[in-house]
C-alpha cells in the first residue's frame, strides 16, 4: 500500500504544532498552571473501543498535553542539569523517527550503525578520549554508569582469572569499590544492579565542594574499581583525577568516571583544565540529553579499551566479538532501539567543535552571571561557581524552600531544591543552548521579587 496523501498533511500539522509550541515557550510560565495539569485528565478514561483519525489524535495531544508540559525546552528552565533540544538535533530526531530504524546492528540499520560510528569518534574526540575509545549509545548517565561498571567488573575479575559473565559473582574474588562521599545516587543504583551492592562501597571523604580528598583514599589491594566524579551534581566540582587515576592504575584498579554533564568541560578550551587527567580513565558515563542538548533519551558510555564492555554486553555467551567490527549491540545493554546516534551526529555537525565549545562556555559564563547577580541581591551562593551549577540559600531551610516554591509558581523560570552538606539550597543549572544574558537577568529579578515578597 502506498502512502496516504493525508499523511503529508499530518506530518506538516505536527511540525506546525511543534513550532507553535516552541515559539510560545517564552511567553508562558515555565511550570504549567495547575488547571492545565488537571486538563491532561481529558486524555484519560477507559480504553477506547474505536480508533480516531490521526489528525484528531494530534489535536488532542496538543490541546491537553502541550499546556501541561514543563517548559524545559525553553530558555529559563534551570532544573536537573538538562538542556533543551538543539534545532538540528530535534529535526534530525524527527527524520530518524520517520526512518524508524532498528539501530541494534549494521544489518538491521546500515545508516544507523554507520552514523553512530561517526558520532562515536566525534563524541570521544570532544571529550578528550583517544582514538579507538568505544562508545555505547545508551539512554542516559544511569545506563552509562551501569554499562561502564559492568565493563569494570568484567575487567578487574578477568585480571585475577575469574570470568564473571559466564560464572557470575558467586564464589568470585571480592571487588572493592571506592567512591567519593558525594557520589551520585545513580552510580550506587548501578552498583546495586550489578551485584556489587549500594552500601558495601568504601566512601572517601570530600571537601567543601564535594571533591574526593586523595589522602582519604584507602590502600588499593586486589580487584578494585575507583569511581570518580567529573561535575558534582550540586557544585559542579571535579574530583582530582590527575592525582587519583595514576595512583589507582599503579595498583591495577579500574577507574570509572561519572561525568554526566561535567565531562563536557573538556570540549571548552577555557574550562578544559577542570578535566585534566580524566582522559586516562578506563570508562566514563556522559549524558547527551543534558549539556549536548539532544532530545531524550541519550547518554554515552565511553571505554578506552572496548573489549571488557563488549565481553559484558555481547548477546551470546559463546560468541566473542570481533575486534575490528563495530556492532552497536556489543556496546549497550539493549538490542532493538532507536538510532540515537543520528541526533548526536546532527547536533555536533550543526555546531562543530567551536560551536560545542561556545555552548559549554556560555553555560558557565551565564552561571557566573547568575551567581554574581544573586549575591548582589543579598543572597548566599554556597558553591564555587566553576561550571554551570549555582547553589543559592535564601536564609533558613524553610525560607529557601518557600522561595523555590514561589519561584516555580511565579513561572518566569524554574529551579529545583537540593541539600548540600547540611544546607537547603536552590539549585540553578544553566544547560540549555538558548539561554541568554537577558534570560538570566529576568530570572534573577523574578527570584529576588519572590524572595522580597516573603518579607
Ligand atoms: C544526571 C546525572 C546522572 C544520571 O543521569 P540520567 O541521564 O538522568 O540517567 C548521573 N550522574 C550525574 C553526576 C548526573 O548529573
Residue 397 CA to ligand 1 center (angstroms) comes to 25
pLDDT of 261 > 90? The answer is yes
* Interatomic CA distance for residues 331 and 146, integer angstroms: 12
pTM for this entry: 0.97
Point out the ligand 1 atom lying closest to the alpha carbon of residue 142. 9
The residue nearest atom 5 of ligand 1, judged by CA position, is 141
How do residues 265-296 score in pLDDT, each as one tens digit? 999 999 999 999 999 999 999 999 999 999 99
Residue 383 CA to ligand 1 center (angstroms) comes to 19
Residue 216 CA to ligand 1 center (angstroms) comes to 25
Average pLDDT over residues 319-330: 81
Structure confidence at residue 318 as a pLDDT band (50, 70, 90): low
How do residues 144-203 score in pLDDT, each as one tens digit? 999 999 999 999 999 999 999 999 999 999 999 999 999 999 999 999 999 999 999 999
* Interatomic CA distance for residues 451 and 419, integer angstroms: 19
pLDDT of 344 > 70? The answer is yes
Point out the ligand 1 atom lying closest to the alpha carbon of residue 262. 13
What is the bridge-based pairing of β-strands 176-180 and 202-204?
parallel
* Interatomic CA distance for residues 203 and 216, integer angstroms: 9
Give the angle 181-280-276 at the CA atoms, nearest 5°: 70
pLDDT of 302 > 70? The answer is yes
Assess whether the previous peptide bond of 394 is cis (omega < 30° from 0).
no
C-alpha cell read off for 255: 577507574
C-alpha cell read off for 402: 518557600
State whether residue 113 is helix, strand or coil: helix
Under 8 Å CB-to-CB from 125, ≥6 apart: which residues? Answer: 131
Position 321 scores a pLDDT of: 67
Point out the ligand 1 atom lying closest to the alpha carbon of residue 229. 13
pLDDT of 426 > 90? The answer is yes
Residue 262 CA to ligand 1 center (angstroms) comes to 10
The residue nearest atom 14 of ligand 1, judged by CA position, is 260
Q: How far is CA 52 from CA 14, 124, 393, in A?
A: 16, 45, 50
Residue 264 CA to ligand 1 center (angstroms) comes to 13
Point out the ligand 1 atom lying closest to the alpha carbon of residue 299. 7
| Sign for the pseudo-dihedral over CA of 149, 231, 261, 424 | positive
Q: Which of the listed residues 183, 233, 239, 430 should we mutate to test ligand 1's pocket, taking the one with most ligand atoms within 8 A of CB?
A: 233
Q: Residue 110: which of 316, 327, 288 has the closest Cα?
A: 327
Residue 258 CA to ligand 1 center (angstroms) comes to 8
- Indicate left, alpha or beta for 100 from its phi (over 0: left) and psi (-120 to 50: alpha): left
> Do residues 382 and 423 lie in contact, with contact meaning Cβ atoms separated by under 8 Å?
yes
Residue 145 CA to ligand 1 center (angstroms) comes to 9
Position 4 scores a pLDDT of: 83
Residues near ligand 1 with C-beta < 6 Å? Answer: 81, 140-142, 184, 186, 231, 233, 258, 260-261, 287, 299
Average pLDDT over residues 372-381: 98
Amino acid at each position: 500500500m502506498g502512502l496516504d496523501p493525508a499523511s503529508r498533511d499530518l506530518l506538516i500539522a505536527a511540525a506546525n504544532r511543534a513550532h507553535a509550541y516552541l515559539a510560545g515557550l517564552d511567553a508562558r510560565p515555565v511550570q504549567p498552571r495547575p488547571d492545565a495539569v488537571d486538563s491532561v485528565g481529558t486524555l484519560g478514561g477507559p480504553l477506547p473501543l474505536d480508533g480516531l483519525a490521526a489528525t484528531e489524535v494530534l489535536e488532542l495531544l496538543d490541546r491537553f498535553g502541550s499546556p501541561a508540559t514543563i517548559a524545559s525546552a525553553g530558555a529559563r528552565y534551570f532544573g536537573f542539569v538538562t538542556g533543551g533540544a538543539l534545532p538540528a538535533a530535534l529535526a534530525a530526531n524527527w527524520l530518524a523517527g520517520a526512518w524508524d530504524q532498528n539501530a541494534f546492528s549494521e544489518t538491521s540499520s546500515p545508516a544507523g550503525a554507520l552514523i553512530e560510528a561517526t558520532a562515536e569518534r566525534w563524541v570521544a574526540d570532544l571529550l578528550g578520549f583517544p582514538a579507538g575509545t568505544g562508545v555505547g549509545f545508551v539512554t542516559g548517565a544511569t545506563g552509562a554508569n551501569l554499562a561502564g561498571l559492568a565493563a569494570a567488573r568484567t575487567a578487574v575479575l578477568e585480571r585475577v582469572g575469574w570470568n564473571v559473565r559466564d560464572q557470575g559473582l558467586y564464589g568470585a574474588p571480592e571487588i572493592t569499590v571506592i567512591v567519593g562521599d558525594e557520589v551520585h545516587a545513580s552510580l550506587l543504583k548501578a552498583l546495586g544492579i550489578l551485584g556489587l551492592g549500594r552500601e558495601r562501597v568504601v566512601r572517601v571523604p570530600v571537601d567543601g565542594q564535594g571533591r574526593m580528598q586523595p589522602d582519604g583514599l584507602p590502600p588499593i589491594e586486589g580487584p578494585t574499581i575507583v569511581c570518580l566524579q567529573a561535575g558534582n551534581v550540586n557544585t559542579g566540582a571535579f574530583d582530582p583525577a590527575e592525582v587519583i587515576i595514576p595512583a589507582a592504575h599503579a595498583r591495577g584498579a579500574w577507574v570509572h568516571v561519572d561525568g554526566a554533564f561535567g565531562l563536557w568541560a573538556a570540549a571548552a578550551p577555557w574550562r578544559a583544565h577542570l578535566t585534566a587527567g580524566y582522559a586516562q580513565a578506563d570508562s566514563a558515563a556522559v549524558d547527551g540529553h543534558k549539556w549536548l542538548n539532544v532530545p531524550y533519551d541519550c547518554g554515552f558510555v565511553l571505554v578506552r579499551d572496548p573489549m571488557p564492555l563488549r565481553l559484558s554486553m555481547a548477546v551470546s555467551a559463546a560468541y566473542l566479538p570481533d575486534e575490528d567490527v563495530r556492532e552497536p549491540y556489543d556496546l549497550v545493554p539493549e538490542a532493538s532501539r532507536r538510532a540515537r546516534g543520528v541526533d548526536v551526529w546532527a547536533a555536533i555537525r550543526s555546531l562543530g567543535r567551536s560551536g560545542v565549545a561556545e555552548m559549554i562556555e556560555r553555560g558557565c559564563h551565564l552561571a557566573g552571571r547568575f551567581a554574581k547577580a544573586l549575591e548582589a541581591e543579598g543572597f548566599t551562593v554556597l558553591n564555587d561557581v566553576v561550571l554551570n551549577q549555582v547553589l543559592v540559600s535564601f536564609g533558613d531551610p524553610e525560607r529557601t524552600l518557600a522561595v523555590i516554591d514561589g519561584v516555580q509558581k511565579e513561572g518566569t523560570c524554574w529551579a529545583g531544591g537540593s541539600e548540600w552538606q547540611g544546607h537547603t539550597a536552590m539549585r540553578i543549572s544553566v544547560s540549555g543552548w538558548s539561554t541568554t544574558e537577558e534570560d538570566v537577568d529576568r530570572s534573577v529579578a523574578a527570584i529576588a521579587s519572590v524572595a522580597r515578597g516573603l518579607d
